[in-house]
């Protein structure tokens, strides 16, 4: 998503296990994960009150120890400048990855596109960028505990308006099962964004941490959480960071 925002694919940070004996060598559409969530932001800026997003990650093809994956997310930012629920941004992220895995580690080549738009406000300036890079994703399960990590390293190959050159996007998450359908969850992430110096600023840093509980149903789960974040360039026409604490929920596929 916009710099400093984790994508919905992050909720599936643990790579799938290597296929058991008898699994077809090639499978079409073997997996789909979705995320639908909203955060309430405690911020001094009236443009940033609600952060809502919907997205999903789809494996088009799984082939032995690898897969081809497509990710899409839409984010809406709402404030309270003109009305109680005042949408001011609508942003899109599209990404594709081709990966291979062995011994609990997944390596992938990644294409990453972000396009940012204003809502209920005029804007003629395009704000978007394309990146290509690599991803390392790991996961481990020990008894009632799941741990996962993801690191993306990407370089900008096309951009409009922004001064971005490269990005390192990393996160870790954990889940400890407390009951048959309940767990305690925690995650943290960091983004390091290199810039070209044209906007009189240096390397940018974004951070996010959160903790909460996860309640599982038959086909989906709800996650309730509290978080704190420093987000890079939260308003698309202003190159400056913003910080806040938040509370929210997510509906996710199991």
Domains within the chain, CATH numbers bracketed? 8-253 (2.40.160.40)
Enter the tokens of residue 39.
């955060």
Instruction: Report d(CA 95, CA 109) in Å as an integer.
Output: 11
- What average pLDDT score do residues 151-157 get? 98
| pLDDT band (50, 70, 90) for residue 8 | very low
Least-confidence region, from 17-31, 36-50, 114-128, 208-222: 17-31
Query: What local confidence, expressed as pLDDT, does residue 16 receive?
Result: 54
CA dist., res. 1 & res. 236, Å (int) = 12
Residue 11 — φ and ψ, nearest 5°?
-65, -15
When pLDDT is cut at 50, 70 and 90, the band that residue 18 belongs to is low
User: How would residue 64 be classed by pLDDT, with cut points 50, 70 and 90?
Assistant: confident
Q: Classify residue 198 by burial, with Cβ atoms within 10 Å: 0-12, 13-18, 19+.
A: exposed
Distance in angstroms (rounded) separating the CA atoms of residues 252 and 10: 11
Largest CA distance in the chain: 59
Residues 6+ apart with CB under 8 A from 177: 144, 145, 183
pLDDT of residue 13: 46
pTM for this model (two decimals): 0.89
pLDDT in tens, 90-108: 999 999 999 999 888 999 9
**Token duo for residue 35:** 């995320």
């Amino acid at each position: 998503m916009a710099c400093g925002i984790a994508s919905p694919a992050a909720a599936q940070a643990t790579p799938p296990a290597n296929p058991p004996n008898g699994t077809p060598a090639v499978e079409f559409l073997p997996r789909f994960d979705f995320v639908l969530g909203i955060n309430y932001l405690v911020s001094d800026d009236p443009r940033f009150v609600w952060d809502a997003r919907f997205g999903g990650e789809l494996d088009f093809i799984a082939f032995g120890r690898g897969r081809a994956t497509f990710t899409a997310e839409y984010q809406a930012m709402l404030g309270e400048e003109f009305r109680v629920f005042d949408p001011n941004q609508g942003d899109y992220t599209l990404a594709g990855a081709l990966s291979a895995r062995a011994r609990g580690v997944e390596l992938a080549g990644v294409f990453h596109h972000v396009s940012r738009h204003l809502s209920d406000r005029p804007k003629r300036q395009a704000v978007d960028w394309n990146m290509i890079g690599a991803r390392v994703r790991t996961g481990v399960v020990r008894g009632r505990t799941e741990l996962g990590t993801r690191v993306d390293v990407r370089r900008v190959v096309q951009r409009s308006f922004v001064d971005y050159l490269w990005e390192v996007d990393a996160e870790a998450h954990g889940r400890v099962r407390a009951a048959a359908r309940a767990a305690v969850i925690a995650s943290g992430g960091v983004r390091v964004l290199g810039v070209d110096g044209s906007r009189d600023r240096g390397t940018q840093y974004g951070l996010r941490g959160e903790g909460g509980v996860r309640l599982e149903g038959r086909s989906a789960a709800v996650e309730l959480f509290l978080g704190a974040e420093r987000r890079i360039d939260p308003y698309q026409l202003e190159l400056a960071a913003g910080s806040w604490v938040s509370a929210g929920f997510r509906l996710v596929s199991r």
